[in-house]
């Protein structure tokens, strides 16, 4: 067993303790980051719904007040994600073109005895 295996098992146990803690509502140290994230989300929701503003909510409120800025931000994020994906997908596309085209067989509907439950 290597150090990486031991570390992965330990982190898996910590994740399970955090999940159990969050599910039961019993505070624990592994769940602490989740408590802070949930509290921030709640404060942000209150800030957006009211006139109360704090330092971290200013940017979100500005984006919600100016939809054009939000659209520009979203389009720039999509462009950043699509560029590496386009490069990665160009190689498999060239390989697919080299292979002869195969006809896909249509699946036949088979009655599996569910009595039309999912029809």
Q: Is 74 helix (H, G, I), strand (E, B) or coil?
A: helix
Establish if 62 belongs to a structural domain: no
CB 64 within 8 A of CB 70: yes
CA distances from 19 to 25, 32, 39, 41, 87 (A): 10, 11, 17, 18, 38
65: nearest Cα among 81, 88, 47: 47
Establish if 20 belongs to a structural domain: yes
Mean pLDDT to the nearest integer, 49-66: 88
Model confidence pLDDT, tens digit, residues 75-89: 887 777 766 655 665
pTM over the 0.75 mark:
no
Mean pLDDT of the chain: 79
Is the pLDDT confidence value at 24 over 80?
Answer: yes
Establish if 5 belongs to a structural domain: no
Establish if 38 belongs to a structural domain: yes
Establish if 45 belongs to a structural domain: yes
The whole domain housing 23 covers: 12-52
Residue 11: the pLDDT is 94
Establish if 30 belongs to a structural domain: yes
Establish if 29 belongs to a structural domain: yes
Model confidence pLDDT, tens digit, residues 90-115: 555 555 555 544 444 555 555 566 66
Q: How many domains does the chain have?
A: 1
Establish if 17 belongs to a structural domain: yes
């Amino acid at each position: 067993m290597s150090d990486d295996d031991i570390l992965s098992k330990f982190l898996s146990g910590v994740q399970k303790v955090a999940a159990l803690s969050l599910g039961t509502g019993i505070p624990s140290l592994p769940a602490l980051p989740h408590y802070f994230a949930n509290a921030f989300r709640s404060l942000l929701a209150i800030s957006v719904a009211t006139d109360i503003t704090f330092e971290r909510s200013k940017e979100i409120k500005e984006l919600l007040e100016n939809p054009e800025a939000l659209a520009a931000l979203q389009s720039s994020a999509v462009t950043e994600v699509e560029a590496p994906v386009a490069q990665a997908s160009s190689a498999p596309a060239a390989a697919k073109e080299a292979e002869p085209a195969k006809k896909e067989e249509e699946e036949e509907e088979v009655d599996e005895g569910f009595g039309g439950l999912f029809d």
